Amino acid sequence: DVAGDRLHRQLRSAQQQLALEAALHRAEPANNDYLFELGQAEFWVGYVAWQRGELDYAGQFFERYLEYSEQLSRREPDNVDYRLDVSYALSNLGSIANAQSQPEKALEKFQAAAAIGEELLGNDPRNVDLAMNLADTLSWIGTTELDLGKLQPARAEFRKAVDTMRPFHEQQKD
């Protein structure tokens, strides 16, 4: 299977990068750049594992990605990129929970990610990338609410997603 071979090679490559980043971080644990890159490497191993259908395995890496992102965010609470990575990690964990038929857990993760997204967009309301990230997360919340049979809350989340993007659409920033 060509796709399986490609994913296997990608996983091996991501694991090698993770080993390198872990060694750099161990050598200088206070170095934020090394911790950031370690988190990114954890993400990529998790992502490839997710693509291979290895959800539990992927979740372990996404948990560490969240842990490292939260560490960075505590070190530099005003760093938007670090806060955004916390949001991304939470969304990834929500997606894994969703794929594992755990909608309540998925909803919790997506809602935590959206709270960060709302805060970041509130501080920079003209940032289309932050708006798109928030709208995407709100859409995941809506979809999860639908999966739970909660039609009115789902509709409200989809409306919030549309309302988040409306100012950018009106400015023709689609």
Residue 173 has pLDDT above 80, yes or no: no
Give the pLDDT confidence score for residue 5 in this predicted structure: 84
Beta-carbon count within 10 A of 163 CB = 11
Residue 129 pLDDT more than 70? yes
How far apart, in whole angstroms, are the C-alpha atoms of residue 31 and residue 49? Answer: 27
* Whether pLDDT at 174 is above 60: no
The Cα 110–Cα 140 span in angstroms is: 7
Instruction: Determine contact, residues 97/105, Cβ cutoff 8 Å.
Output: yes
**CA dist list (Å): 155 to 75, 110, 140:** 37, 16, 12
Look at 11-15, 35-39, 50-54 and tell me which has the smallest mean pLDDT.
Answer: 11-15
**pLDDT greater than 80 at residue 1:** no
CA-CA distance, 169 to 128, in Å (whole number)? 10
What pLDDT does residue 143 have? Answer: 96
